[in-house]
Amino acid sequence: MTQPAKTPQPPYYAVIFTSQRTAGDNGYGEMADRMVALAEQQPGFLGVESAREDGLGITVSYWESLAAIKAWKDNVDHQQAQAKGRSDWYSRYVTRICKVERDYSFEV
């Protein structure tokens, strides 16, 4: 995972996943690593960024198209992780599907 992600010229798409974790790991860490590895293999995947602080996590994944996002959402292993997220890992989350219209960066 390169962070910040190295993305191409806009437009491209972003999925902002903001979540509040429940207490305890309950297999979350292992599954989170597995999902990142799996996402990286999906067609149209451009990059991912993730940080968690005091239980509040923000993961942003970048994609070439809405179709690529839909295919990842429907991936069978990812579906199982999503179900486990609702039953065990998250007390609350919001997923936002966005079109990145402009970006700019700074590097020392």
23 near a second copy, judged by CB under 8 A: no
**Residue 50 beta carbon to a second copy: minimum distance, rounded to whole angstroms:** 8
Cα angle for residues 30, 8, 65 (degrees, 5° grid): 70
53 near a second copy, judged by CB under 8 A: yes
Count Cβ atoms below 10 Å from residue 95 Cβ, excluding itself: 13
**Residue 74 beta carbon to a second copy: minimum distance, rounded to whole angstroms:** 14
Neighbouring C-alpha atoms within 13 Å toward the C-beta of 83: 7
Question: 30 or 86: whose CB is closer to a second copy?
Answer: 86
